[in-house]
Structure 1
Amino acid sequence: MIRRTLITGVLGALLALLLGAPPTTALAPADDCRPLAPGASPAAERAVAAACAEVAAGTWYTWGGGHGPQPGPTYGQVDPEDPASEHDPERLGFDCSGLVRHAYARATGQDILNGVASAQYYTHRAAERFTPDQGLAPLLPGDLLAWGSSDHLRHIAIYLGAGRMVEARQSGTRLMVSDVRLNASYFGALRVETGPVSGPLFSTWGSGVWTKAEPATAARRVYAFPGPTTVRVRCQKHAERVTSDGYTNDVWSYLPDYRAWMTNIYLRGPAWLPGVPACP
C-alpha cells in the first residue's frame, strides 16, 4: 500500500510545479547559509561566505554597527524609535548596510560599498538592476535586495538563492538566514560590479541635493544626496534654467542608477560635462 507521506509528497511537488515554485524537497534547511544556486561570480560568492561566517559566529544586529572608519563589526547605538535597541551599544555587530559593506570589503579587499542602504542600492557599481516585477528568477547569490521607497530605502540584504537571503534584520536578534520578503515594500535588487566601472563618473557637491523624475525643479523628488557622492552619468541635455548657490545653468544630467535627473550645477565640472553625450 502507498504510504500517506509519499502521496502527500507527490501532491506537494505537483502543486509547487503548478504554482511555479520549486518542490519542497529542493528547499534548503532553515540555517543553511551558503550560495544556494549556481552562476554567481567568485567575488559574489566570497561576499556570501563573509556574511555567512558572521551568522555562524552568532554576531548580533546592532543599530549603526559596521560603519566605523574601516569595514567590520562595531558597537551599535540606541535607535530612538526601537526600544529593543537598548543593548545595542553593548553589542559588537552590524546593521543591515554594515553587514553588506563588510561582506563586499572582505570579498574584494576594498571598501566599495561604504554607506547606508540607499547609498549601497544606488551605487555606481551596479552591474545590473532588477525591478520587483521581475521577482527572484533572474537573481544570483550575492545580489543585493532592498526595501523601502525611492527616497527612503530602509533595509538591504544579500541574496543566497532558492528564495533565501542573509541579513542583519533588527535589534534584539543575531544575523540570520531568512526567506526573501516579496512584500509591498520590496523595492528591487542589484548585482554588484566588483571590477572596473564603465560610464562617465562625476562627483556631486553640497548636501540634501535632490534628484528629480524629470529635468525640472517642480518634478517629483526621487532621492537626496546626503553629501558628495560619486555618480554615473549617462547623458545630458538643455532643459529648465536653474539658479542656485550662486550659479545658473540650464543643463541637466540623467543618472541611470537613480533613474532620475540632476541639475549640472551640483556636479563638479563645467556647465556642460566633458565626455558625456547629449540625451536623445
Structure 2
Amino acid sequence: MWAPAAAAAHTAPTAAAAGRTTAAGSECAVLAPGASEAAEWAVRAACAQVAAGVWYTWGGGHGSAPGATYGQVDPTDPASEHDPERLGFDCSGLVRYAYAQAAGSDILNGVASAQYYTVRAAERFTADQGTAPLLPGDLLAWGTSKQLHHIAIYLGAGKMVEAKQSGTKLMVSDVRLNGDYFGAVRVNTGPVTGNVFRTWGTGVWTKAEPSKASARVYAFPQATTVRIACQKHAEVVTSDGYTNDAWSYLPDYKAWVTNIYIQGPAWLEGVPTCT
C-alpha cells in the first residue's frame, strides 16, 4: 500500500499570494474539502502563479529545476511566436512546479503522459466517473492511452487551474469532460513503495497482453521509471540483440512490457510471478 502523503514544511502564503482570484474574478483556491495537506499546497502553489499573471509558454517550466522558464516556438501553433519572450509554464511545467512546492522535491518532472502514469499514483479515475470522486489537487488528463497531450490540477466544484495554450495566461477553467478527457490521478507525495524499475530505449510499446501481436497501449518516449506488479513467462521476443520470454505487468498503465526493456536481469529479482 502507499504511505500517506506528507507535505513539506512551508510558510503559509497570504490569500493574495495563494491566488484567491484571477484577474477575471474566477476563484483560484481549494474549493472542496477532503484533499491531503500536500495536495492543497499544490493547488495554492499553482494559484499563486495565476494571481501573479504568469503566461502559458510552450515548453515552459521544464528547466533543470521546477519553476517558470522562457518558452519555445511551437511549429504547429502560430500563437506561440512570443513564447520565447515570456517567462511561464506549459501544462505539465505548471504541474511539476506545483507538486515540487508541495512535496519539497521534484517528484513530477516530465510531460503530461509521464505525470499521469506516475509511480506515485495513489488512485486513478476513469473518464466515465466524471468529477464526482475527485478531490482538490488531483490531476486531470486529456488525450489517449497512446498520447496524453494536456494535464491540469483540479480545484473542486467542477473547476481546475491550468496552463492552457499560447497567447493566454494561467487560468481557472470549468473542467472539460467532453472531447478526449481521459481520466484523473491522485498523487501521493510520500515514499514510493512497490517494485520500481527503469526502462531503457526509446519508443518502447507496452501491450494489452504479453504478446507482440497484442494491441499497443503506450510507448515510452525515453527511459522511464515504472512500477511492476508481477512478471510471467509468455511469448518469446527477440529485440536489440536480446531474446527473452519474460513479460512484466505495469499496473499504472494496465499493460505489459517485455523484460528486454526493463533494466536488470532477464527475470527481475524480487518481482513475484503473475498468477
Paired with 1:180 and 1:174, the residues of 2 have a C-alpha distance of 17
* CA deviation profile, 1:47-95 (whole Å, cap 9, x unmatched): 0000000000000000000000110000001111111111101000000
Q: Which has the larger radius of gyration?
A: 1
> Which structure carries more relative contact order (alpha carbon 8 Å, separation 6+)?
2
Q: CA deviation at 1:219?
A: 1.2
Q: Which amino acid aligns with 1:117?
A: A
Residue 209 of structure 2 aligns to a residue whose secondary structure is coil
Paired with 1:123 and 1:59, the residues of 2 have a C-alpha distance of 26
Aligned residues of 1:251 and 1:271 also touching (Cα < 8 A): yes
Residue 258 of structure 1 aligns to a residue whose secondary structure is coil
Q: CA deviation at 1:162?
A: 0.4
Matching of residue 119 in structure 1 with residue 114 in structure 2: yes
Q: Which amino acid aligns with 2:78?
A: P
Coordinate RMSD, CA, aligned: 1.0
Q: How does 1:145-160 map to 2 (within 5 A)?
A: 145-160=140-155
Structure 1, gaps ≥5 residues long: 1-28
Q: CA deviation at 1:164?
A: 0.2
| Higher helix proportion (structure 1 or 2) | 1
Paired with 2:227 and 2:85, the residues of 1 have a C-alpha distance of 39
Q: CA deviation at 1:123?
A: 0.7
Q: How does 1:100-115 map to 2 (within 5 A)?
A: 100-115=95-110
Aligned residues of 1:30 and 1:177 also touching (Cα < 8 A): no
- 2:252 is aligned to 257
Paired with 1:186 and 1:227, the residues of 2 have a C-alpha distance of 24
Paired with 1:144 and 1:73, the residues of 2 have a C-alpha distance of 19
TM-score of the aligned structures, taking structure 2 as reference length? 0.90
Q: Which amino acid aligns with 1:97?
A: S
- 2:194 is aligned to 199
Paired with 1:65 and 1:122, the residues of 2 have a C-alpha distance of 21
Residue 78 of structure 1 aligns to a residue whose secondary structure is coil
Matching of residue 217 in structure 1 with residue 192 in structure 2: no
Structure 2, gaps ≥5 residues long: 1-23
- Choose which of 154, 179, 202 in structure 2 pairs with 1:184: 179
- Choose which of 88, 102, 107 in structure 2 pairs with 1:93: 88
- 2:13 is aligned to none
Q: CA deviation at 1:228?
A: 1.2
Q: CA deviation at 1:201?
A: 0.4
Q: Which amino acid aligns with 1:179?
A: D
Residue 182 of structure 1 aligns to a residue whose secondary structure is coil
Q: How does 1:36-115 map to 2 (within 5 A)?
A: 36-115=31-110
Q: CA deviation at 1:31?
A: 1.4
Runs of 4+ in 1 over 3 A off after TM superposition: none
**Percent of residue pairs bearing the same amino acid type:** 78
* CA deviation profile, 1:97-128 (whole Å, cap 9, x unmatched): 00000000011110000010001011111010
Q: CA deviation at 1:177?
A: 0.3
Q: CA deviation at 1:30?
A: 5.2
Matching of residue 278 in structure 1 with residue 273 in structure 2: yes
Q: CA deviation at 1:135?
A: 1.1
Paired with 1:211 and 1:53, the residues of 2 have a C-alpha distance of 38
Paired with 1:227 and 1:118, the residues of 2 have a C-alpha distance of 12
Q: Which amino acid aligns with 2:215?
A: R
Paired with 2:109 and 2:238, the residues of 1 have a C-alpha distance of 32
Aligned length: 252
Q: CA deviation at 1:198?
A: 2.1
Q: Which amino acid aligns with 1:251?
A: A
